[in-house]
């Protein structure tokens, strides 16, 4: 969503600029894009861009092994921090080879219910694929999407939504 808004602003700005500064427009446009990117990537303490980076809701599968990773709005791409968390999970799963897990994928409340079910499934599978590349067999991992049905934070604000966009690894046995 955020990306779209920025794009709209840019188009509006672009049209005006086209009329006024035909020659300098490219330079100005580049500046605008850069500043837009800079603001959207801004860290607000608990958020990087709109990905949650805090630890309020995080639980641990074992000491030093966080149970969840977070996503940007409408995204299922794993961040650097998410990949690090998943590598820790993979190492722990390799050590405890009898354990099976369910990856529970979630979305925030700012989307339609059916799309969010699909998005939750896509997020959980992004985590699953990463665990598999680190040697965890797919038959030890099942996936369950809750869409927007099980938020951890009942707030209606960007921080609450960032906590709710998550994939949580839950011990199944």
Report 41-100 residues binding other proteins (CB under 8 A).
74, 76
Q: Which is nearer to other proteins, 39 or 112 (CB)?
A: 112
Contacts of 107 (CB under 8 A, 6+ apart): 116, 117, 119, 120, 123, 147, 148, 164, 165
Pick the binder of other proteins from 61, 101, 117, 141 (CB under 8 A).
117
Long-range contacts formed by 56-63: CB under 8 A, 24+ apart: 56/163, 57/152, 57/153, 57/163, 57/166, 61/89, 61/92, 61/169, 61/171, 62/92
Q: Is 39 in the site for other proteins (CB under 8 A)?
A: no
Name the minimum Å distance from CB 63 to other proteins: 26
Query: By C-alpha distance, which of 61, 68, 57 is closest to 92?
Result: 61
List residues bridging with 147 in a β-sheet.
106
- Specify the stretch interacting with other proteins by CB under 8 A; choose among 22-30, 31-39, 60-68, 148-156: 148-156
Q: Which is nearer to other proteins, 10 or 65 (CB)?
A: 10
Q: Which is nearer to other proteins, 28 or 83 (CB)?
A: 83
Q: Is 113 in the site for other proteins (CB under 8 A)?
A: yes
In which residue are the tokens 């969840």 written?
68
Query: By C-alpha distance, which of 155, 2, 168, 148 is closest to 73?
Result: 2
Pick the binder of other proteins from 52, 82, 111, 136 (CB under 8 A).
111
Pick the binder of other proteins from 129, 133, 137, 171 (CB under 8 A).
129
Binding site for other proteins (CB under 8 A): 1, 4-5, 8, 74, 76, 109-115, 117-119, 121-122, 124-126, 129, 143-145, 149-156, 160
């Amino acid at each position: 969503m955020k990306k779209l808004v920025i794009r709209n602003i840019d188009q509006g700005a672009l049209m005006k600029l086209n009329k006024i500064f035909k020659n300098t427009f490219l330079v100005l446009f580049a500046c605008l894009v850069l500043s837009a990117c800079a603001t959207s990537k801004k860290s607000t303490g608990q958020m990087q861009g709109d990905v949650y980076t805090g630890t309020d809701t995080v639980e641990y599968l074992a000491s030093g092994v966080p149970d969840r990773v977070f996503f940007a709005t409408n995204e299922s791409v794993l961040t650097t921090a998410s990949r690090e968390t998943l590598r820790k999970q993979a190492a722990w799963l390799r050590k405890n080879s009898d354990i099976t897990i369910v990856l529970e994928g979630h979305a925030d409340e700012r989307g339609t219910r059916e799309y969010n079910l699909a998005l939750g499934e896509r997020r959980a599978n992004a985590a699953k694929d990463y665990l598999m590349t680190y040697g965890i067999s797919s038959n030890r991992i099942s996936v369950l999407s809750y869409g927007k049905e099980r938020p951890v934070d009942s707030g209606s604000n960007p921080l609450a939504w960032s906590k709710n966009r998550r994939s949580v690894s839950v011990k199944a046995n």
